A and B are shown apart, each in its own frame.
Chain A
Amino acid sequence: MNLGSLRSQAKIYLMGTSTDTASIAWSDAELNRYANEGTFYVQQITEFYQDSDNKVVTSGTSTYAAPSLEHQFIRLAFDRDLVPQTNEYELDRDTCTSWRGMQSGVSQYFYRPTLNQVALWPPPNTSGDTSIFGSELGVVVEITGDPLYALSGEFGVVTGFTDTEGSIGKFRSDIFASLYQANGPQFGVLINYTNDEGNLSSIFVAIPQQMTADTDVPQLPPFAHWGIINYMVAKAFAREGEFQDMSAAQAWFEAFKDWMGASLGVKGRWWPTSITSLEPWQTGDRLNQRLQAVSIPSFLRS
């Protein structure tokens, strides 16, 4: 389903399908807001959507911005070697006291100085490959990873793959492709693909991107989209005003919970190739475990 169909289905449940805009209690913009909120809430409960990213490192520089879509890291690697997570306390306890001023080397660990930052320790002593655009015109796509490959004065559509090994975050485009830059000689669409060789790569549970166009699709499995609809209706009934109905909101949230329970049940049966329990089969409750971690929305707490 896309944003338009999510909204249409929610309107059916809200009995707000009239073409008379004056009679509609919930606007498209409001329902779109609930759809995006519901998408994120479903993602928090189910953690379906994962993504990866590369950060080009600079020799001697320890701290880098975390990927903008990162909700929770799963694994980080520097130059395709796992870097386990540590923190300042462990570094103070287990290394020399001057670790903050330590010379660069081969990064072995990472820690998080603050939200949206990742710091490598020790700081890397090599820089990852970068791309330098010079006077390009048109659609330019550069794949880094081969230091002998450079773009200069190209015209038209230019693409180049030069590396044949590597894995995971092998080639990742910047999430927001650069457009026309007023201060540079480039004109057109510039897409920089980075390689995870010599760089900081990550795999993470991602934040779904905001849906704006009616054709945008939630970055979740199709079967989970019905949960978003139930959440939208619950939020609509909970909104203050003459159409507020808290009992209906509570009931629709129960419908949401029911669908999330079924969705987690499906996820629990993906790739069922190992015995997870020797106990006789019993009915479990995966949803309550996740709701205890994520919590229920504030509008439903008495």
Chain B
Amino acid sequence: MTAERPQSEIAFEVNGEARTVYAYPMARLLDVLRHELGLTGPKEGCGEGECGSCSVLLDGVLVNSCLVPVLQAEGTKVVTIEGLTQNDGFKKQEGVNPELSMTALQQALVECGGAQCGICTPGIIMAATHLLRKNPTPNAGEIREALAGNLCRCTGYAQICEAVAKAAVPERTR
């Protein structure tokens, strides 16, 4: 029987809050987020870094959390889909409870029919958010490249790309 390894204390910031978890250093960040922290937005679609359903931002950078050993996330700032807020330059919805408000991107996905079963959606939004933060006016090719790591089995992608393009247009010209 192999000796039981000890768990490590991992301190990091998740969605703006300081958190500490006890986990094996080789536990996957995805599993720690879902099982220890109850953040089920990031999902396991493949466990191989191919589908993008598990995407999160790690120190502002898009990564597949199924491929990150949690020890490597120590001391970092992790943002999951649950952590995208209205204050990130996105449009507030007038007269609507802020907790029910959607970011411009989320709203565009609804309007364009870019979400069906919703499994890929959190990953898509993370990837698109990462894109729009770096490149607020992407062209069609840049949108497709940014989302190339996100697989969707329902929509056929066209409505998703449309939604990202729509969310990218400056508010004044909508």
Do the two chains bind?
Answer: no
Residues of A within 8 A of B (CB): none
